[in-house]
Amino acid sequence: MILSIIIPYYNVAPYTDELLKCLAPQIREGVEVILVDDGSLVPYKTDYKWCKVVRQENKGVSAARNKGLELAQGEYICFIDSDDIVSDKYIHNILSKIPFDYLDMSWKSLPGGQQFEKKLNYDTDRLNNPSVVTRAFSRELIGNIRFNEQKQAAEDAEFVRDVCKNAKKIAVITDYNYFYRTYTPNSLTKRYLTGDTDTKRIVYHYTHITADMTDLLEEIKREDKRNEVYVLTEQNDIPELEQYARVSKPCKVRGMELRGEPWPSFTKILPTPDFDIVIYTSHNHINGIFTWIYSFCGQMSFRYSIAVIHEGMEPSMIERLTKYAYVKQNGDPIKCNTLLMMRLTDKIPVSVRYKKSIQIVHAPNLTEQRELPLDRDEIIPVSKTVQKSWNLTHEPILNMTFNGETVLHLISATRLNTREKGEERMKQLCYMLRQANIPFIWECYTSTKADVKDITFKNMVPDIRQRIRNADYLIQLSDDEGFCYSIVEALEEGTAVITTPLSVLTEVGFKENIHGYTFGFNMEGDIERLRSIPKFKYSFDNSTSIKQWCSTFGDSEHEFLKPITIQCTKRYRDMQLDRYIEEGEFLTLNSRRANEVIESGYAKEVIYG
């Protein structure tokens, strides 16, 4: 056997299928492919007889590569990651360079993710990245050296360093021979570079490492067993350090920890935010999917930590969700136990690291052109209709509903052209509501507007009772009022009142905590009370006032006549109403005015019954 290709595999079947399809035309006698399935959720299967699939319990990529080395029969060894791709002359290019101790090959990243590349132009060029997949090795050079299974990442850097230190004959492939898929979701490399593995990158910086710094050497030896170690120094007098760390001149570097002397170009990798559930949506406008997300977060946020990742959601949507979920635009790394995908056409975002992915199917299959994604662990329909149309086995989970926080509907009817009407208190109340995270809509009917951005100002209307009836609270924050019709009208309509302690409240029968709430003139008071909107029945006693007015006026000298309803018989302009009355239109007028219109020949009385 001339060449053994070792492929460690874990849960990336679509990409691995593509890789094997690329290798298929290249396979020849003397070449073997060993795929080590490292405990995937679904065992990997292929129809290619030349690919030997070996399954083991999940131990990590190093253990998978070591298993491949144990089984390999080739005189030369190379490694391919199962989510990457290679040149259509990959095998030919390697075999054409035999014999060698090891070879470096030009590489680049595939379109769709971050773009990197390394082009080797001469036989003397060398790779500066420590990756094992962009190299091939003679079995003799590898000997008994194996990958460090204690490391979750950067294990190939240690392997390459240990294997290549004794190489004499080095070959180079100048053509691009290996292609990284940098956009693979959930990849180990991405997890490592975002600080989400047990293996860490430790950076040491010393201007001058002197020969007597033996304690530093021993410390780095210990760290190298589990972590990736960088050493930045202008001068290194301990050459042995290069066996256990990447030693270079000081440069920009990212890591989890900096040791030694300060270095301003060190960037610390912060821990990745961790949630029970991450919901991903590419929708940026209000629709049924947003309603699903809002209802789900509202109902489930008391049981699980939830994040919503989006691609540019409207601010009003974000504001509504923020109370129940962590909401962020897609980009920065995030991890979770379960990822919920909302649209069939969305790709899993590379920023999310997850243990299980679930596709929610919101719509029935109305066209044969639509397909379900293949890279989800579960697919859950929202109804039996959806389940049946897609022929799904998973039982549907019906959508939830969620009313959420009550949005208080506030109303005022007041003029604001004088200080005592409480404009500053209105501003203060808006601030208090926002600070307490109590959503509200406030309409103020007034002839004079004020500069309060949270209030919608409208023109006065003659009969405001209908509007008051539909509100949660009537607001009146004056210094004082002689009577305050709006408060009495609100109470008669069953609408609670928020008011300052006006002197007249007792006279009109207002009772604290029953008919509403008072705030001090400095707006002191418990804003949280407003969440509990009082319900009550109230009736204002007009009888005393009527008697007092009758006593003032004495007896009437005229007969009481009820209002009369008339119907217009021909179009005319009514001078009192200042408009045209159309033929057939009905009006109810006081008896004197109704008779005037009838006698003028423009209307007739309507007799009911």
pLDDT in tens, 433-489: 988 888 889 999 988 777 777 888 888 888 889 999 999 999 999 998 888 889 999
Q: CATH number of the domain that 330 lies in?
A: 3.40.50
Rounded to whole angstroms, the Cα distance separating 297 from 311 reads: 18
Same domain, 380 and 463: no
Please tell me the distance from the alpha carbon of residue 301 to that of residue 323, in angstroms, as a whole number: 9
In this prediction, residue 242 carries a pLDDT of 85
Calculate the average pLDDT of the chain.
89
DSSP letter at 124 equals: T
- Residue 39 shares a structural domain with residue 83: yes
Instruction: Assess whether 71 and 98 both reside in one domain.
Output: yes
The closest of 465, 462, 468, 489 to 577, measured between CA atoms, is 462
Q: Do 106 and 157 belong together in one domain?
A: yes
One domain, residues 360 and 501? no
Q: Residue 422: what pLDDT?
A: 86
How many angstroms separate the CA atoms of 142 and 102, rounded? 9
Q: Which helix (H) or strand (E) holds 255?
A: strand 253-255
CB count within 10 Å of CB 400 equals: 14
Q: How far apart are CA 475 and CA 484, in angstroms?
A: 11
Placement of tokens 């044969």 in the chain = 368
Average pLDDT over residues 374-395: 92
CA distances from 45 to 40, 50, 54 (A): 11, 12, 10
Judgement on whether residues 334 and 281 belong to the same structural domain of the protein:
yes
Q: State pLDDT tens for residues 288-333.
A: 899 999 999 988 988 899 999 999 888 888 878 888 899 999 888 8
How far is residue 63 CA from its own chain's centroid? Answer: 35
CATH number assigned to the domain comprising residue 66 = 3.90.550.10
The reply to whether 598 and 521 lie within a common domain is no
DSSP one-letter string for 410-442: EEEE---SSGGG-HHHHHHHHHHHHHTT--EEE
Question: In 156-273, where do the E strands start and end?
Answer: 170-180, 201-209, 228-236, 246-248, 253-255, 257-260, 266-268
Beta bridge partners of 410: 442, 473
Residue among 598, 601, 570, 563 nearest 584 (CA): 570
- On whether residue 150 sits in a domain, the answer given is yes
Measure the CA–CA gap between 570 and 582, rounded to whole angstroms: 7
Q: What is the DSSP letter of 332?
A: B
Q: Kindly state whether residue 141 falls inside one of the protein's structural domains.
A: yes
Domain identity same for 7 and 154: yes
Same structural domain, 524 and 582:
no
Residue 145 and residue 71 share a domain: yes
pLDDT in tens, 514-565: 999 999 999 999 999 999 999 999 988 888 888 888 888 888 887 878 889 9
Please report whether residue 546 resides in a domain: no
Measured in degrees and rounded to the nearest 5, phi and psi for residue 444 equal -120, 115
Torsion of CA 362, 368, 369, 372, to 10 degrees: 50
Q: Which two tokens stand for residue 256?
A: 């989890």
Asked if residue 539 is part of any domain, the answer here is no
Residue 117 pairs in a beta bridge with: 108
| Beta carbons within 8 Å of 548's beta carbon, 6+ residues apart | none
Is the bond preceding residue 99 a cis peptide, omega within 30 degrees?
A: yes
Q: Which residues pair with 36 in a beta bridge?
A: 8, 54
3-state secondary structure of 445: strand
Residue 89 is part of which domain span? 3-184
Q: Is 189 part of any domain?
A: no
Contacts of 210 (CB under 8 A, 6+ apart): 237
Read off the tokens for 324.
Answer: 């129940």
In a domain, 401, yes or no: no
Tokens (6 digits) for 522: 């400095």
Question: Distance between CA 252 and CA 204 in Å, rounded?
Answer: 13
Residues 97, 123: contact at Cβ < 8 Å?
Answer: no
The amino acid at residue 552 is T
Domain check: are 323 and 353 in the same one?
yes
Residue 396 placed within a domain: no
pLDDT band at 56 (very low <50, low <70, confident <90, very high): very high
Of the listed ranges 80-89, 128-137, 211-220, 441-450, the one predicted with least confidence: 441-450
DSSP string, 193-219: HTT-SS--EEEEEEEEE-TT-HHHHHH
Lookup result for tokens 């050079």: 141
Measured distance CA(458)–CA(413) in Å, rounded: 9
| 331 falls within a domain | yes
For position 461, which CATH number holds? Answer: 3.40.50.2000
Q: For position 187, what pLDDT does the model report?
A: 52
SS3 state of residue 78:
strand
Tell me the per-residue pLDDT of 570-592, one tens digit each, with 9 for 90 and over: 999 988 888 899 999 999 888 88
Rounded-to-integer distance, Cα 250 and Cα 266, Å? 10
pLDDT for 141 equals: 95
Q: Tell me, what's the pLDDT at 423?
A: 87
**Model confidence over 188-215: pLDDT tens digits?**
555 545 555 667 888 999 999 999 999 9
**3-class SS at 112?**
coil
- Kindly state whether residues 19 and 104 are assigned to the same domain: yes
Q: What is the pTM of this model?
A: 0.45
Query: Containing H/E element for 549?
Result: helix 543-553
pLDDT at residue 196, as a whole number = 56
464 and 492 in contact (C-beta within 8 Å)?
no
Q: Cα separation of 516 and 533, whole Å?
A: 8
By 3-state DSSP, what share of the chain in percent is helix, strand and coil, each rounded to 5? 25, 30, 45
Q: Domain tally for the chain?
A: 5
The secondary structure of residue 514, as a DSSP letter, is T
> Taking a C-beta distance cutoff of 8 angstroms, is the pair 452, 423 a contact?
yes
